Amino acid sequence: MAIADLDLALGSMERILLDSSTLIAFHTAQEEAHPLAVHLLGRIERADDPLRGYCSVINATELLVRPIRTGQREFTFMHTFLTGYPNLTLLPVDMFVATQTAALRASTNIRLPDAMIIGSGLLAGCEAVVSNDEGWKRRCEPLFSDFRWLYLADYL
């Protein structure tokens, strides 16, 4: 039921921005939202599904901290995931992203990392943000109506 509700909420979307919390839920079986994140990334991976995932280098940075602390094997695993997962695009930072980020920060006063993630998604043409962080959704959703905000726990 929860997976069907998430798929219904995604509808015909083709480009979604994944927050770090969604990617962490995908990699952490103990997370309550793990099955939803696995389903979502499974859809992104499939060639016959139009859904594609995007994440910012800020997300990648957040996902690499613990593996770097833990050891080479864990780092290699996460690095390979971030650079090689099918249909998951890592959005780089360039002057366009820097300008978009600065404009978002200036107009909304949200934290710089959040502005960079959101700015990257806007420039990539993402239609939705998928997060497992209720606080992030609550803070950002009222400021950014360009996205549909999907909070995984709403589908549990």
| pLDDT category of residue 134 using cuts at 50, 70 and 90 | confident
Domain 2-155 -> CATH class? alpha beta
Alpha-carbon span 99 to 145, nearest angstrom: 19
Closest to 66 (Cα-Cα) out of 54, 77, 57, 55: 77
> Is the per-residue pLDDT at 57 higher than 70?
yes
DSSP symbols for the chain: -HHHHHHHHHTT--EEEEPHHHHHHHH-TTSTTHHHHHHHHHHHH-TTS--EEEEEHHHHHHHHHHHHHH-HHHHHHHHHHHHHSTTEEEEP--HHHHHHHHHHHHHH---HHHHHHHHHHHHTT--EEEES-HHHHHHHTTT-TTSEEEEGGGG-
In this prediction the pTM is 0.93
pLDDT tens column, 86-124: 999 999 999 999 999 999 999 988 899 999 999 999 999
pLDDT tens column, 2-22: 999 999 999 999 999 999 999
Contacts of 155 (CB under 8 A, 6+ apart): 2, 3, 5, 6, 9, 36
Q: Domain residue spans in the chain?
A: 2-155
- Identify the weakest region by mean pLDDT among 35-49, 60-74, 130-144: 130-144
